[in-house]
A and B are shown apart, each in its own frame.
Chain A
């Protein structure tokens, strides 16, 4: 683990992404360090989720490269990709739990595939993960029986099933009530502190941004690139461009903060 210290966890080089012929974001360069809480922000439709789906290897970029622990996920073949994907977990916007399986089966699935645990050990791990997200006893339930927030927490338990080195979050706090959202934020920080997990979060929830991020990049739809980067509280003080200022201050209707 230590030998990799110098290599950034994730690195995007001259990344250009889009759909079909439409370019959404151009020439992005950024790197994410080990154990960092890295937040990607921006208004709706600026391509936040798109960039996330590129980072996790679902879409192929139009140009540029993405390195995960120094290895390109863009050029990797299926087997290499699979190996890289094993090292990260993804929490999707609506959870994306497999609706045909129970919560416990959902969480057990990656363990059955990748580990040599016995059935009993798997159940033990499943319960442990469920406890971590505050869903003790929800194992035998079907995803359709859970509320949106519970689904999201169960999905987080699944994302953490293999104790990944990187966790990706696609708008974690949408559809969560403030209390659960805050719980999720605390959980993210706690996991980072205890396990050193790298967190990559796409969000537009201001409270989360200020509470947990080490570093943010802000994307813009018009400029099609990164318009600001840094620590959010410093960004706000350092007289940023108007678009960034508007975003970070909720378009002028600022709430009383720090």
Chain B
């Protein structure tokens, strides 16, 4: 009796084990480097095409949603706003506060040597509003929302819910991606605003208690340095990160393999590619913002 007896229910593997139905275990072998490079390149190429395809599909779905706002599943959007926004608020604030604190502390050590204590407010204010606020919130959301989206969609795929959706005439992109995308785009900038505020408070705590700068002086300096433009830049970044995290989370869910390993891998991959894309986008946007 071969193992194929236990494998035979796996419909996607039909024919893969050859006509004999025997299940063969492959000996692990060291693959030639060329083969590895080739395979990786092909994989990367296919991945890029998939990302392009999903961007197209999302654009179409967004366009459709704008034309028919009543067809958007608002109840689900609110649900995701709650899960990805309200529930993420405490951890986002906590991390942003601590980042502000750490940054303030590190800066104060250096600035104090040169007697430029007040510039701690500049450094903390600008870094938090332009970079750390949006970035830290994006990291948290990639870990929380991105992985959840991927796991949810890939589980739906395993249980044939996606198939059922298609045969009921619903386009999965409209049905599944749009509420998640809208929710994340709406809540991430809000989380970022909260993050920015508590981040600056973190820096202020160091400034006031460790360097002895009066609160009002620190506040005025921050208000002078952090212009609405910088603040807006941070929020734009945050919205772009939201699109990336939601899109890549859903993409990884849709391309997951039809088994339990697939669900885990999809969630992992959603977080890794989410963070990667966020950093790439941040680099580009920082460059662009500095030019205009």
Contact = CB atoms under 8 A, between A and B. Distances in A.
Contacts of A110: 168-169
B159 interface: yes
A86 B169 contact: yes
B8 A44 contact: yes
A96 B12 contact: no
Contact of B171 (A50, A78, A92, A99): A78
B8 A96 contact: no
A88 B165 CA distance: 13
Interface string A213-230: 000000001100000000
A19 B15 contact: yes
B159 to A, nearest CB: 6
Contacts of A90: 163-164, 167
Contact residues on A (Cβ < 8 Å of other chain), bracket: 35 or more
Nearest to B5: A44
Contacts of A94: 159-160
Nearest to B20: A222
B11 A50 contact: yes
A114 B11 CA distance: 32
B15 A23 contact: yes
A147 to B, nearest CB: 16
B169 A96 contact: no
Contacts of A24: 14-15
Contacts of B10: 45
B163 A109 contact: no
Contacts of A97: 161, 164
Interface in B153-194: 156, 159-161, 163-171
B11 A45 contact: yes
B24 interface: no
B contact face: mostly helix, strand, loop, or mixed: loop
Interface in A192-215: none
Contacts of B12: 19
B21 interface: yes
Interface in A105-163: 109-110, 113-114
B16 interface: yes
A16 interface: no
Interface in A20-67: 22-24, 43-47, 49-50, 53, 56-58
B9 interface: yes
A58 B166 contact: yes
Interface string A79-102: 000100110101011101111100
Given A44-B8, A44-B9, A114 B159 contact: no
A90 B21 CA distance: 30
Given A92-B163, A96-B164, A45 B21 contact: yes
A49 B8 CA distance: 13
A96 B155 CA distance: 11
Nearest to A47: B14
B73 to A, nearest CB: 10
B284 interface: no
A94 B160 CA distance: 8
28 contacts: A18-B15, A19-B12, A19-B14, A22-B14, A22-B15, A23-B15, A44-B8, A45-B11, A45-B14, A46-B14, A47-B14, A50-B11, A57-B166, A58-B163, A58-B166, A78-B171, A85-B167, A85-B169, A88-B167, A90-B164, A96-B159, A98-B156, A98-B165, A99-B161, A100-B76, A113-B170, A114-B169, A222-B19
Interface of B: 8-16, 19, 21, 76, 156, 159-161, 163-171
Given A49-B11, A85-B166, 10 more contacts: A19-B12, A22-B16, A44-B8, A45-B8, A45-B15, A92-B163, A96-B160, A110-B169, A221-B19, A222-B19
Of all A-B residue pairs in the complex, the 5 with the closest CB atoms, nearest first, are A96-B160, A96-B164, A44-B8, A82-B169, A22-B15
